Every structure is written in structure tokens, then in C-alpha cells.
Amino acid sequence: MNTEKIGYVEAIALITIVMINKIILNTPKDIIANTGSASWLNVIYISVISIIVVCFVTYLLRRFPGNDILDISEYLGGKTLKAIIGLAYIILLLMLTTSIIKNLSETLRIIYFRTSPILYITLFFIVSSIICNRFPLKVIAKANLIIAPIIFFSVIIILASSIKNFMPQRIFPILGYGVNETFFSGLSNIFSFSGILYLLFLPPLLHNPDKLKRLSVVAVIISAIYLFLSVTCLLLSLSFTMHSDESFSLYVLTRNLEYGRFIQRVDAVFILVWIIAIISYINIPVSLCIYIFKKLTNISDPNSINYSINLLILAVSIIPIEYAIFTNIVSKAVQYSFFVLFFLISIPILVIANLKLNFKNKPRKEQYRNLDNAQKA
Amino acid sequence: MKKYNVLSQFYNKFIKYTPAQNNDFYLTTENKKDIEKIPISPANDLEPKTISKNFTQNLNYLKTKYNSLINSDVVIREFSLIANNTEYMAALIFIDGMVETQVVNNAVLKPLMLRNKSNTFSVTDNEVISEFNNNDVIIRKIKKFNLEKYIYNHLIPQNSVDLLDKFEDVMSSINIGNSILLVDTLDVAFDIDAKGFKQRSISSPKNEIVVRGSQEAFVESLRTNTSMLRRIVNNENLVIENTSVGKISQTKIAVCYLKDIANNDLVAEVKYRVNNLDIDYLTSSGQLEQLIQDNGSSLYPQLIATERPDKVAIHLLEGRVAIIVNDTPYVLVAPGVLSDFMSSPEDANYKYQFSNMLKFIRLIAAFFALYLPGIYVAVTSYHHELLPTELLFTIEAARETVPFPVIFEILLMEISFELIREAGVRVPSPIGPTIGIVGGLILGEAAVSANLVSPILIIIVAITAICSFSIPDFSLNFTIRIIRFIYILLGYMAGFLGIAVGMFIQIVLLCNLKSFGCPYLTPFIVANNKRSLTSYFLPPIWKRENRSNTVSPKKKYSQGKISMLWKNN
């Protein structure tokens, strides 16, 4: 793999695109389903918590400049812990990618390719992933940088165009299903910011690791603004009790857009942009999987891993089970795995590693202090 | 005899003759492989490398090398040279048609052959330069007669004369049109520049036409091209380094750069690539471009090829490196990034508003040239809802009588168009436009009338063609034409899904591409390249303080913070 590093703006685009794609997919709809008319409040709440978490994580990572969670795990528990953490993350990322591809393929089949087999649609994503992951993450980050503004622009157009459909009274009742659903069980919506997971692997890839905190906070803030706007627009445009089969949250909004008499249905154009965005998004976890695998095994040519990982994703994506069952199982599994792996395993590892570092440096600090005292005396 | 022995050893060593049953000899496969492995004929080891004092031997060697008995254009004029009032055997060797006959006769042969004041004045064998007496012992400083210097200083009234001692250099000089003088008793040859072959005069550019700008184009002669650059750049820091490529052709190449602006690493990289080519011959800059580009498998051009000296001069002043190949009117500039191929040489000559409008139109043109047929196929096959109802009815009504699927229609028309374009280029120029009319108008009209294609498709293909003509660079135009077919197929296979996959892969490939270490998408993905001539959209001329950071030039600024001093004084 190429050792070229990722720049500041590229890194922001990389993290943001992960989160923005969740907005394009079904995240806003899920948030509205969980918290009702209080979804806008919930978004603000989880955004603040995400920023705090990001600050905390980057603070913990600051003590290990240029090291990612795998290096820190190795420092704490040797190669065994490193391998366990690495494998756990590979499984999580693979599940995440599979669920996205399955979700997207099924949605596209419903919208455009009713007669085509799911394998045919999925193959397009897999082929693009195989081709693009032959290149280093730096290249994918650069591609993201080009695509990110287009996605932002498309989302802004949709949001601006749907203002005419707004009904302000839809935000009532303010607390939606209640305080408990909004602030306690609604905390699970923090999964919308699952892009923060990638922060744990960024330090060695960054051109300037010192800016990790700043870029992370900026990326989360950008994503939070977009999530807030998306959720609010969706909430104000459509009743939260309205049932929708569409998997793309924003697609529901685009179907109602009209620009004069000539342009009456532009949803296909937005679908085009979003497919590019989601392909870009798919490449990031796959690339990260290859990166982790390479780091665990020290293989020289990661191309074989690229093929294996993509074929594995293809195999899981085309398992002939009901889409709804698949979504329920895998999406929930991904969500819970993210919570466990990020909050219950990775953050404690970082905390303990910091404590270990403190403990190790303590005698040295005392030595220096004694030396200072002796010099002063 | 000695030669024969060595040759015998060579044959014994490398070629094993195996007797067959009928007592004939044949080469075994193993031996054939051995022959292929031979890098250079071992006979070369016997050949003299340097010129000896034996005139006959030198002359015979050159006669053999040039096959003088059968070569009609190699002239070996043997004569008696008069120097220091003494006659010496001499020979002038040149290629007929590559030298200026008048110059050779009047400025080379005449002073050497005819008796005149220069060659008849006698220099004593031991010329006393100084003399002094030391305790009745006379000490004289004596300069011996030197024929080589005598001829050089007195007998060849030419501005460019070099002394060569290697046969390799001698033959190289003869091949490029110089005349070589061999003189008995001298172990050097005089390389006299008397070139005078017929060449095309400087004319206006044929493929890069501009309205406001220079109307001069490069020609085939390397020296004429370098002189044109020197005239425009007009600075002593312009370095023009010569080298040669090709073991047989020894094609002259000039690497040009401004030493106080161009990045040293870039210059070194260009020279490294040019000097490390193991090829027999090089006949054009197009071949060199393919040999020194970063990614050979990429469709995108990675070096700028231009026939315009003003364009090369601008790039040199921006810190890039130009490569001129002898006998090619196209000069290469390294590195070349995507925005360079989307820019016209006259962009800098227009007001920035005009240029930016043209650049914006070119972007739209590139988009349509690349995607329009693919999008048409995708929309008509999968995304009908995107079209307004009335337009959809019109398209469907037009297609109703066409028996073929849309993919067949569009491929038929696109391939026909490519054929017309190719035929238009190949046919003699007077009937070129006729091909366009016959192909474009009559064939298109006939195809619609025969219900082979729908009228809307003709419009799509025509718009695509017009847009592709707006791309300023010919190589990028080719790239777009090829990729367009891929998008047509992707659009047919999966509509916008296919096109989106193609777009993303294309973006990734572009992001991965580099030209001499410079990202190919600069300045599209490098934000800090504003206020320079090479940013895609041009700032006003008074705000172009920065040089392009694409090549990290030594001088960062190309003009003062306030360039129009007259306004502020």
C-alpha cells in the first residue's frame, strides 16, 4: 500500500462523507421513527454528545501520536489483543459494508430494476470496489474530496426546494414520544455518527496528526448540521406518522420536487449523485479492512485481500433471505457491534493505555523532579 | 586473418552447428536463443574506437562504415591539403543534400586546397617564443609546429568547428549534416558545421489555431525551434541541454528549462527519463511521450504536446520543462495536468472574463462530449420519468418506427461518425469538407428517412461531436471519445447506476494519476493554487501574482503584489 498521507481537508471529507451517506440512506427516517416530532431535539442532543466523545477520543489518542487503535492495543496487550481488535473491526466493517450494499441494491431494484436479479445490481458495486481498492486510501480520500461538495450541494438543493412543503405545526409535540424516548433510548441514534469510528485509524494515515482533534470536530459539526437539516426538513415536510417503504430518506423528499413545468421528476438525478456518494462510502470501510488486514499480517501485496474481501461481501449480500429480515438482523447487529466495539472496548483500551503510559512515565517524572530539586538545592 | 579467427571463435562460441542425418547443418532452437541474447556484435570489439594517425586506416574504416561503394549520397572527397607550405593527404566526408554546397566549396575546400597567403606562409619547425641568457647559457623557449592548431586557426574560416577524436562522434556528426575533415598524421577530425538541408519554413499553426496570439508554429528543425523559444523567453537563464535517444537513430533531443525557476528535481527527473531509454530509434515526440510518461496504461495524456512556441514559452516561464525532438514540429512539456489540456493558448490573451466564459463552456462541452450519449441511453432505457411528458412522447413517437434497440442506434451513429472523422482526416484536403457534408448531412438524413435511427439521436450525436471539437487538446479529445463508448455501454447495462459506477472509477483513476510527480487533477483538488495563470478559472491579470504550485517552482511569484504600478503612483 502506498504510504502517502492524507491531508487535512481530505480527512474532513473522508469522515464527513461517511456520516453524510448515512443521511442519504435511512438514518433520518430511523431517527424520526424513534423519536417522533422531537427528532430535531434528539439530533442536537446526539450531536453535542458526539462532539464530546470525539474530543475525548482525540484527547486519548493525543498521547500516542501517529498510532492507531491497533498500535495502542499492541502496546497494551501485545499482538494477541491487536489481532483480536483488528479482527473485530474487520468483521464490523464488513457487516457495515454488506448492509449498505444490500440496502442500496434492494432499493435500486425496487425503484428501477424490478426484473433484474439482485446479483446483477450488487456486482456493479463489487466491481467498482475491487477496482478502486487497488489504489491506496489516499486516492479514495481525494476522490471523496471531489464528490463531497457535489453531495453537499445536492442535499442543500433538496432541502431548499422542499421548504414550500413545510408545515411548522409538525414539530409538535415538542418532546415527541416523551423525554425517555428523546434523551435516553434516543441516545442510540448516535449511531448516525458512526463515522467517528474511523478516527481511531486515522492518526498514522494523516499528513499532520496534530490536527486530528480539529478535523474530527469540524467533520462532526458539518455532519451534525446536515443531519439536523435533513431530519427537520423530513419532519416538517411529511408527518412522522406517515408510513414509507422507501429506504432512502431524502428520496421521499425528491419525489415531490418540481421546478416549473418542464422539470417535474428529478429524483433520478439525485439518485445518480447519491449512488456515486455511496460507492465512495463503500470504498472507505473496504479500504480500511485491507489496511487492518495488512497491518495484522504484514502481507506485501494487499490485492489478493481486496478480491477476497469483496467476494465475501458479494456472497453475504446475495444471501437469499427477505430484505426486511436481513435489514433487521444485520442493521441491528452492526448497530450493537458498533456500540460494544467503540464505546465498551476501544475507549476503555485507550483509557487503560493512557493510564499505563502514565504509570510507566511516573518513575521517570519523579526522577526528573528529584534531579530538579537537587539542582535547585 | 586475425579478423577471421575472431569471427570463427565467435561462431564457435555462440552458434553450434549440429550435423543432421543428411549431413546438412541447421541451427538448434537453443542456439537461436543464444543469438537473441547477444547484445552487440563481438566484431565491434575489433573496431577502432578512436582516430589514429594513420590516415588511410581512418579513411578506409569510414568508407566501410558508410558503405561508400554502394551509398550514393555519402561523399568522400580526397584531396591534398596545403599547410605550412607542405602538402598533406586529407579527405572531407559529408552527406550530399545535408550540407550547403557553396559553404563547403568556398569556406572549406578552397582555403584548404588552393595556395594562398594563409596556407603557404612558413612556420619554422621550432618556433622560438622567448630566449634569455643565463651565465652564458642560452635558454630558449620553443614551440613546436602544431598542424592541428595551424589548420584550426588559419585554414578553416568557419564559426563552428570542433575537434573530435572518437569515431562514434565523427559518424554522429556526419549523420546530422556536418562535414568531417580527416588529415594525414593527425589523430583528430575536424567537425565543420556546414549544414544546409532543405527544411520547411516557419508557418502558422495548423491544429492549434488562435484568434489573438502568435501565428508561428514549430518546424522540424531542432535548432530553429530552440531559437524560437529563445526569442520569446529572451533570458540568459534559459538552458537548452542536448542529448540523443536511440541506439541507431541517435535522435537529437533538447531539454529546455529556466534554471532560476524550474524545480531541480523536475529537471533531473526529465533528464533521467530521457537518458534512460533503451530503444533503437525515435522518430517523433509522440513516441517519446509514450516512453517517458508515468502511467503508460492510462488513457489520459500526461505530457503537453504543442506546436506553438508561445505556449511552450509560457510553460517554461511557469517552471516547467520542455522537450524538443529533432524532426518533430510538436514539443513536449512536462508535467501535463488535466487543466492544461482544457486550456487554450489564447486564454491568457483575452480578458479574464472572456477566458473564464470560454473555460466554463469547455467544461460543459467536456461533460456533454463524455456523458451525453450514455445519459441518453440511460434515460430512454431506465429513467423515463426524468423527461417531461411531452418530450417523452416526442422521443417515443420518433423511435416508434425504428426497429432497433437504442444501444444499436447510438453505436451505429457514433461509429459512423468516427468513420467520417477518420475519413475526413485521411482524404486529400480539397475533398475533406465534402466527406463531412456527405457523411454528416446526407448519411444522417438518409438514415432517419430509412428509419434506421431516430431524429433525436442524430441531434444527440451532433451535439456530442460539436462538444468534442471544443476540447482544445487533441489527445484529450481521443480519450473522451474512447471513454464515451464505455459510458454508452454502462448506461445501457444499468442506467444511472452504471454511469455512476463509471464516474466514480474514473474519478479514482484520475486521482491516482500523476505526471512527473504532480497530481493530475491539480488545481481542481489543490485549493492553494489560486491567483495564478494555471488555476483553471483565471483571476484578473493583475492578480496573477503566484506561479503555479503544480511544479513547485523556485520563484513563487511571477509579478509584484501591485503589478500596475502606474495606477498607484
ipTM of the complex, rounded to two decimals: 0.88
- What is the signed CA dihedral for A335, A340, A343, A344, rounded to 10 degrees? 170
Is residue A284 pLDDT above 80, yes or no? yes
Q: ω into residue A173 within 30 of 0, thus cis?
A: yes
Q: What is d(CA A292, CA B467) in angstroms, rounded to the nearest whole number?
A: 45
Is residue A3 pLDDT above 70, yes or no? no
User: Which amino acid makes up residue A250?
Assistant: L
Q: Residue A362: which H helix or E strand, with range?
A: helix A347-376
Q: What is d(CA B535, CA B544) in angstroms, rounded to the nearest whole number?
A: 10
Give me B431's grid cell.
Answer: 475533398
Q: What is d(CA B374, CA B359) in angstroms, rounded to the nearest whole number?
A: 23
Is residue B42 pLDDT above 50, yes or no? no
pLDDT of amino acid B516: 92
Q: What is d(CA B232, CA B234) in angstroms, rounded to the nearest whole number?
A: 5
Residues of A in contact with B500 (CB under 8 A): 272-273, 275-276, 279
Looking at the complex, report in whole angstroms how far the Cα of residue B487 sits from the nearest Cα belonging to chain A: 14
**Each residue of B121-158: b (16+ CB within 10 Å) or e?**
eeeeeeeeeeeeeeeeeeeeeeeeeebeebbbebbbeb
Which residue of B lies nearest to A267 if distances are taken between CA atoms? B386
pLDDT of amino acid A364: 67
Does the CB of B498 have a partner CB in chain A at under 8 Å?
yes
Rounded to 10 deg, the angle between the B285-292 and B264-275 helix axes is: 110
Q: Do residue B499 and residue A272 have CB atoms under 8 angstroms apart?
A: yes
- In this complex, the residue of B495, B501, B525 whose CB is nearest that of residue A112 is B495
Is residue A144 pLDDT above 80, yes or no? yes
User: Residue holding cell 620553443?
Assistant: B142
Task: State the average pLDDT for chain A.
Answer: 84
| Domain boundaries of chain B, sorted by first residue | 2-46, 55-192, 222-336, 352-519
Give pTM, 2 decimals. 0.82
Give the pLDDT mean for B155-184: 90
Question: What is the interface size between A and B, counted as CB pairs within 8 Å?
Answer: 83
Per DSSP, A23 falls in state H
Give me B28's grid cell.
Answer: 538448434
If pLDDT is split at 50, 70 and 90, which confidence band does B486 have? very high
Convert the pLDDT of each residue in B376-400 to its tens digit.
999 988 888 888 888 888 888 888 8
Residues of A in contact with B521 (CB under 8 A): 142, 146
Which residue of B lies nearest to A131 if distances are taken between CA atoms? B505
pLDDT of amino acid B41: 46
Residues of A in contact with B385 (CB under 8 A): 265, 267-268
Give the pLDDT mean for A227-253: 72
Convert the pLDDT of each residue in B200-217 to its tens digit.
888 888 888 888 888 899
Q: Do residue B385 and residue A145 have CB atoms under 8 angstroms apart?
A: no
pLDDT of amino acid B532: 56
Which residue of B lies nearest to A254 if distances are taken between CA atoms? B386
Give the pLDDT mean for A54-75: 90
Instruction: Give SS3 for B248.
Output: coil
Give the pLDDT mean for B417-428: 82
Q: Residue B149: which H helix or E strand, with range?
A: helix B147-150
The phi and psi torsions of B56 (rounded to 5 degrees) equal -60, -40
If pLDDT is split at 50, 70 and 90, which confidence band does A158 have? confident
* Contact of B321 with B266, CB cutoff 8 Å: yes
Give me A264's grid cell.
Answer: 417535474
Looking at the complex, report in whole angstroms how far the Cα of residue B520 sits from the nearest Cα belonging to chain A: 11
Q: Do residue B497 and residue A145 have CB atoms under 8 angstroms apart?
A: no
- What CATH number should be reported for the domain whose range is A8-369? 1.20.1740.10
Residues of A in contact with B511 (CB under 8 A): 135, 139-140, 142-143, 146
User: Residue holding cell 472496548?
Assistant: A345
Give me B432's grid cell.
Answer: 475533406
Is residue B420 pLDDT above 90, yes or no? no
pLDDT of amino acid B14: 42
pLDDT of amino acid B424: 79
Q: What is d(CA B508, CA B298) in angstroms, rounded to the nearest whole number?
A: 12
Convert the pLDDT of each residue in B538-551 to its tens digit.
888 888 888 877 78
If pLDDT is split at 50, 70 and 90, which confidence band does B55 have? very high
Q: ω into residue B523 within 30 of 0, thus cis?
A: yes
Which residue of A lies nearest to B514 if distances are taken between CA atoms? A139
Q: Which of A114, A147, A271 to mutate to test the interface with B (most CBs of B within 10 A)?
A: A271
Residues of A in contact with B498 (CB under 8 A): 124
- B78, β-bridge pairs: B91
E-assigned strands of chain A? none
Looking at the complex, report in whole angstroms how far the Cα of residue A183 sits from the nearest Cα belonging to chain B: 39
pLDDT of amino acid A239: 67
pLDDT of amino acid A247: 60
| Domain boundaries of chain A, sorted by first residue | 8-369
Give chain A's contact residues with B (Cβ, < 8 Å).
9, 108, 112-113, 120-121, 124-125, 127-128, 131-132, 135, 139-140, 142-143, 145-147, 261-269, 271-273, 275-276, 279-280, 283
Convert the pLDDT of each residue in B289-315 to its tens digit.
999 999 989 999 999 999 999 999 999
* Contact of B334 with B303, CB cutoff 8 Å: yes
User: Which amino acid makes up residue A256?
Assistant: N
Give the pLDDT mean for A277-303: 88
Residues of B in contact with A113 (CB under 8 A): 382, 494, 497
Please indicate whether residue B41 or residue A17 has the higher confidence score (pLDDT): A17
Measured CA distances, B94 to A215, A299, B67, B163, B179 (Å): 70, 62, 13, 16, 5
If pLDDT is split at 50, 70 and 90, which confidence band does A286 have? very high
Residues of B in contact with A265 (CB under 8 A): 385-386
